[in-house]
Amino acid sequence: MISLTSPVETWAHRIPAGAKLLALPFLTLALFLTGRPWALAAALLVIVLLYLSGGAAFLRQGAGHLRMLWPFLLLIAVWHSLTGQMQAGLVVALRLLAALALANFVTMTTRLSDMIGVLTWLLAPLRRIGLPTRAVELAIAMVLRFTPMLVENGHRLAMSWRARSRRKPGWRIVVPMAALALDDADHVAEALRARGGILNDIPDGRS
């Protein structure tokens, strides 16, 4: 789960991006090393408190980003209910929710330009031996930048459909959503060409 940097300033915004990105995989690994529901529930509670430490508005924004997880959690619950493995299903659901909430917290409190800076530093050894890394940096930056935009476009299309019909949108918004994605890609390509291509510049996430 990746979202845009939150405009609500918190204490976590002041932590260096490198420290947060270094801690994230280790904390996520810890979630996968335990299979006890109570331990995962406690970890999720700590993560909720992290969100709450940024204020009620920050918590609401984070919860809104994670709202799209409910169909997956529902599917996990139904499947494990049918197979008689409720505890295993609870473990999977808690682990998924905690891991994605933690990743979302990091991206909400870290500027895209700072994350790209960390990535640039990590790829520096490859550049020293002559391997091009700008395309890799751009690809990761675009994924981080445009994934939440695609999700937001999907929400807007669904709301537009509900305003015109009582039926659920479902697959009916797939084609217009794909058209919007292609239109955004065309604009980005034009902007990159105007700036000399991917070898000369990389967006810093603030424009």
Give just the sign of the alpha carbon dihedral 184, 186, 191, 195.
Answer: positive
DSSP 8-state assignment for residue 67: G
pLDDT score at 197: 62
> Each residue's pLDDT tens digit in the chain (207 positions)?
455 688 888 999 999 999 999 999 999 999 999 889 999 999 999 999 999 999 999 999 888 888 878 878 888 878 877 787 888 888 888 999 999 999 999 989 988 778 878 888 888 887 778 777 777 777 777 776 677 777 777 778 888 888 887 777 777 777 888 888 888 778 777 877 787 765 444 444 443
SS3 162: helix
- Residue 205 φ/ψ region, left for φ over 0, alpha for ψ in the -120 to 50 degree band, beta for the rest: left
Q: Are 5 and 107 in contact (CB under 8 A)?
A: yes
Q: Is 105 strand, coil or helix?
A: helix
CA distance 138 to 197: 11
Q: How far apart are CA 118 and CA 93, in angstroms?
A: 31
Amino acid 8: pLDDT: 87
Environment class of 33 (CB within 10 Å of its CB; exposed 0-12, middle 13-18, buried 19+): exposed
- Contact between residue 60 and residue 12 where contact means Cβ atoms under 8 Å apart: no
Q: What is the DSSP string of 7-34?
A: SS--GGGGS-HHHHHHHHHHHHHHHHS-
Q: How far is Cα 17 from Cα 118, in angstroms, rounded to an integer?
A: 7
Is the entire prediction scored with pTM above 0.75?
no
55-99: pLDDT as tens digits: 999 999 888 888 878 878 888 878 877 787 888 888 888 999 999
Separation of alpha carbons 13 and 9, rounded Å:
7
Q: From CA 177, how far away is CA 67, in angstroms rounded? A: 19
